A and B are shown apart, each in its own frame.
Chain A
């Protein structure tokens, strides 16, 4: 039993100091310093919004640049003119009467996409851009000074004056008849007069 008591005493003695760092270990000081440091770090104002404040405007700028960038069809140089969409019919100028009018040029009969030029679904750049529809075609233009003078004349002139004006206009438009020029032969000087 004496041996057991000794072992119990030894065990209790070891257990009373088990895991004890000791009074001079500086544990309290380190723990206090650590707690205060972490509390100070946590109480500091957090600027979590700062990255967003930079990233959001940058993303907005990139989006604007992307939307504003011109879209072009990347086609081989030789087929550039053939890739126009049906809506993009070239306009030609013609004269009807005294006023120029824009009319669409006749489309080529065999209008096919050139080899090597393919339109991809979802590729916005390759989609034909539709021209805006006009309410009145051709677009009304302001009257020229000559047209204004004609309108004023038609409004105020009498019937006789208008008829004479039309007759004069027809006469002016009528083909001119130019009489054949007859040049008499030059007579030779009489002999002996020299």
Chain B
């Protein structure tokens, strides 16, 4: 298989994964697609896609850095600990919005979007089976224990919100 065919197969295999990582940072499909293109272009230029031990961990790290660079300047929420992140504003969907979101999955999706970035990124990355807490910590530049703490906090927050919504519905 020649190099072009290998690269094509590589893009077809991993572009959706890279898109999801970029989307978790940027929350915008158009910007996320730009990040995907930038990521693969960078790898193609440097021939950095040939032998990869952990392909997805490597790709997630590259894509995350490019996405963070493209993101509008804002306080570095990824460096916050989970407690500080919990205090940061996390707009809950209003009852009117909840009523509009008839689809439960879309509602949960919007709740994940509304999570602070420090909690959202570990949560989204944990959804990929190939990435464990140590690798997620390596991508985000935080200790493995912090990743676990943030994952727990993120799940607790989502549980709490979903429980509140269900109570409101059945009340």
Binds A, one of B31-39, B81-89, B130-138, B142-150: B31-39
Whether a CB of chain A sits under 8 angstroms from the CB of B162 is: yes
Whether a CB of chain A sits under 8 angstroms from the CB of B59 is: no
From 22 to 65 in chain B, residues with beta carbon under 8 angstroms from any chain A beta carbon are 23-24, 29, 32-33, 36-37, 40-41, 44-45
Binds A, one of B70-78, B92-100, B102-110: B102-110
Q: Which of A18, A34, A38 contacts B20 (CB 8 A)?
A: A18
Residue in A10, A27, A31 with the greatest tally of chain B CB atoms within 10 Å: A31
Q: Are B109 and A27 in contact (CB under 8 A)?
A: no
Nearest CB of B to A21, in Å: 6
Digitize A1-39: 1 where CB-to-B-CB distance is under 8 Å, 0 elsewhere.
001100110111111111111010001101110110011
Q: Are A7 and B33 in contact (CB under 8 A)?
A: no
Query: Contacts A10-B108, A31-B33, A31-B40 known; A18 to B127 CB distance under 8 Å?
Result: yes
Q: Which of A17, A27, A39 contacts B41 (CB 8 A)?
A: A39
Q: Are B163 and A27 in contact (CB under 8 A)?
A: no
Per DSSP, chain B at the interface is: helix
Residues in A with CB closer than 8 Å to B109 are 14, 18
Q: Are A28 and B163 in contact (CB under 8 A)?
A: no
Q: Are B105 and A27 in contact (CB under 8 A)?
A: no
Residues in B with CB closer than 8 Å to A4 are 159
Complex Cα spacing A7 to B163, Å: 8
Digitize B128-171: 1 where CB-to-A-CB distance is under 8 Å, 0 elsewhere.
00000000000000000000000000010011001100100000
Q: Which residues of B contact A (CB under 8 A)?
A: 8, 11-12, 15-16, 19-20, 23-24, 29, 32-33, 36-37, 40-41, 44-45, 104-105, 108-109, 112, 123-124, 126-127, 155, 158-159, 162-163, 166
